Every structure is written in C-alpha cells, then in structure tokens.
Amino acid sequence: MVATDFPSGNTPLEHHDPELFNLIEHEKNRQWKCLELIASENFTSRAVMDCLGSCLTNKYAEGYPSARYYGGNEVIDKIESLCQSRALQAYGLNPEEWGVNVQPYSGSPANFAVYTALLRPHDRIMGLDLPSGGHLTHGFYTYSKAENTRKAVSATSVYFESLPYRVHPETGLIDFDKLAESAALFKPAMIVCGGSAYPRDWDYESFRKIADDNGSLLMCDMAHYSGLVATKEHKSPFELCDIVTTTTHKSLRGPRAGMIFYRKDARGFENKINQAVFPGLQGGPHEHQIAAIATQLKEVMTPEFKQYVVQLKANCKALAAFLMEKGYVLATGGTENHLLLWDLRPVGVTGSKMEKLCDEVCITLNKNAVLGDRSALTPGGVRVGTPALTSRGFKEADFV
C-alpha cells in the first residue's frame, strides 16, 4: 500500500459515513423541533462548537502548563492558562487566594478527583441524599430491606463511607438541625453541599458552621447553578467553602467538561488536586474542551449573559407559579433558580410515565426521585428546567 492510498481525512462526514451523518441530522432535528426542559441541558454557542471541532483535538498534552510530558505544547499552554485566568475572573476570585484545575473531563470525574486528593479510602462523607435533590457522586447508596444489604451506586459510596443528609419532610428544605445532629455523631471528613434537583439557594453559613464544629472540609458542587453564581444571581460558595467544583454546561452554557476551584493556603490543596486529576485519574487533557470552556467564560462575563440568567430564573418562577395555581405540588413550594421538582404522587402518576408521555408530544424532561421515593427507576416526580428554552429566546409567557 502506497502513501497515496491512505485515507485523506478530508472527506466530509456526509460522504464519509452517511449512516452516522443521518443519525446526527435526526438528533439535530429533534433538538430543534422539541421543547427541551431537562434542567441539565442547554444549547451551546457556535464559538464553543468551533473550539470542540478544532485542530486542538489532535494534541496530547499530559501534564500542566510549563510542565508537560510531550513537546509542541507552547500554544496549548497559553490556551490552558487563559482558561484558568478567565475562570478565576468570571467568579471574581483573587489568584493569590484561589486556583483552578480546568482539565476534568466532566463533573463526576471532577468530584472524584477531589475525594481522591483530599480523602483516604473509607473516610466519611456527607452529601445531600438523591431523593432530596442531591447527586449520585455525593455518596448515594440504596438499601434492600428484603436482602438486608446496602448497595453502592457510585464510586463515591464504594470507596468512602457515606451518610447522606436529607431535606425536611414538611418544607422540602435542607434540615440543618438533623444534619448537625448526624454530623456530630458521624464526624465526616468532608461535607458536600450543592445538588442536581434542589430548587432553592444554599445556606453556606449553616454548612460552614457544621463543618467547623466537626473538623470537616466543606466542598460545594455548583454544577447546576454555576451560571447563576457567576452572574451574582445566586449566593457565592467561594466565601465559605474550601473546594468548589462545577460542570461547564448546564446553566453556564459551555461544553461538556468540569472545573475544580481550590483555596491556596497551608493545606496544600493545589498539588494534591492537580496530582489527583493527572496522573491519578486522567491521562491527556482534552484541550479542545478547555478552549471551549475559555471562550464560554468570556461570554459569561458579558452583560448579555447576565440578562440571560435573569430571564431563565424569571421563566422558571413563572412556570412554577402556573403549575401551583393549577393545584400541582412542587418540592419546597416553588423555585429560586433554573429548575423545579414536580411531585406527581398526589395525582397518581409516576415520573417515568410522565417522561414517556411528554416524549410522545416532543417535550423532553426527566423523571426524578422525590423525598420518600424508594426506586430511582420509577420515581414519583419529574425535574423541569428552563436554561435550554431560554437560550432559544423563550420568555415567561411562553412557559405558561
């Protein structure tokens, strides 16, 4: 075989692989025609897509700026450093006090990198329980009464001892009295705040006090509402938390990736976290993703993005008010952010059935556990979010 017989790499996907091209076109058509109400999804910008499809995907860059294991990374170093600088700037952080790792492939690896860096195997973690609005990576596990066994759901509950805290059964708000009581007995090495289906802002002062009372690190996972924090439409976790993680999609409207912010102090978080990300858990960073994060962070610091976040909150409040006027039950009785949690049990419908029914009419949302649920596969609620449709220009009246 001579060199001229090699694949040229210049054939467009439409001609190179029509089968796959058509599938992508079908998905594009679905996204355009359907109403996207999944709280974790959004429509990212052309600039972000340009980065994701750029030549940066060709380059391996194991290591960190100025400390790579491969040559030819002079430009890559500048891109990653620019991303780090913009990340700190977007959240108003002093680079003398805070650092950021922008290499995590997504949010779950970012969280596990923090645990790997700062905890030992079988250390104790307390995170918000999944049916209360938490995330799988915060230590969720299930219990089978019939088999009298505890089943770990994510690696967090495999390698660490977990005691989830819950919301109050009457208010739907985090039960800080119970959390304080449980933490005093459990003595967690780390408390995790933040969640994936909690429709209210976060009381970081109460979390900080409980963490200090028990010698615990305090980590915030702001993946869902990081866009709100950047625009000061949500309280900032940076004033009181030791570590802050986030995805870069969702309300931030960037690529599918993750970031870890850490305090620079005598505890030495920087080296521990950097080593946990690479070489601990990952190999070469995805520099096309890092470039996409960087360009989205530039957008995040504009007045237009602030207006976008204000609108998505207004849209969610309008939708919540409309549903409650119709007599439906929402967790916490409303929302203060980009999502609401709709409890369908009073009307005798499962979240799974509602999700399927909505799919039939081209409305996309997701089933979600609510407090008291025993099964994540057939939960009693659905989670509804406004980021994606707000990106398409929807206003309050369009949601009702």
Reply yes or no on whether 256 is catalytic.
Answer: yes
Interior/surface letters 192-227, b for 16+ CB within 10 angstroms, e for the rest: bbbbbbbbbebebebbbebbeebebbbbbbbbbbbb
Residue 347's H or E segment, with its range, is: none
User: Residue 187 corresponds to which tokens in the numbers above?
Assistant: 């003595």
- Please indicate whether residue 343 is annotated as part of the active site: no
**Which two structure tokens, joined as six digits, stand for 101?**
């790792």
| Sequence-ordered list of residues with C-beta below 8 angstroms from that of 390, at least 6 positions apart, any chain | 308, 311, 312, 315
Is 221 a known active-site residue? yes
Calculate ∠ Cα 185-192-199, nearest 5°: 115
Taking the C-alpha atoms of residue 377 and residue 153, their distance in angstroms, rounded to an integer, is 13
Kindly give the interhelix angle for 287-300 and 303-325, rounded to the nearest 10 degrees.
80
What is the residue type of 9? G
Q: Which residues of 112-124 are buried (b: 16+ CB within 10 A; e: fewer)?
A: bbbbbbbbeeeeb
Residue found under tokens 């999609």: 249
Using CA atoms, how far apart are residues 158 and 360, in angstroms rounded to an integer?
37
Q: How far apart are CA 382 and CA 377, in angstroms?
A: 12
Asked whether the beta carbons of 135 and 197 are under 8 A apart, the reply is no
Of 60, 64, 105, 328, the active-site residue reads 60
246, 247, 332, 350: which is the annotated catalytic residue? Answer: 247
Q: Which of 62, 161, 203, 270 is catalytic?
A: 62
Report the distance separating Cα 219 and Cα 273, nearest Å.
13
Q: Which of the residues 36, 80, 221, 373 is marked catalytic?
A: 221
E strands, 176-222, in order: 190-193, 217-221
250 is catalytic: yes
Residue (of 365, 335, 330) closest to 351 by Cα position: 365
State the catalytic residue, choosing from 200, 235, 250, 367.
250
Report CA-CA distances (Å) from 326 to 329, 370, 381.
Answer: 9, 20, 16
Active-site positions read 60, 62, 221, 247, 250, 256
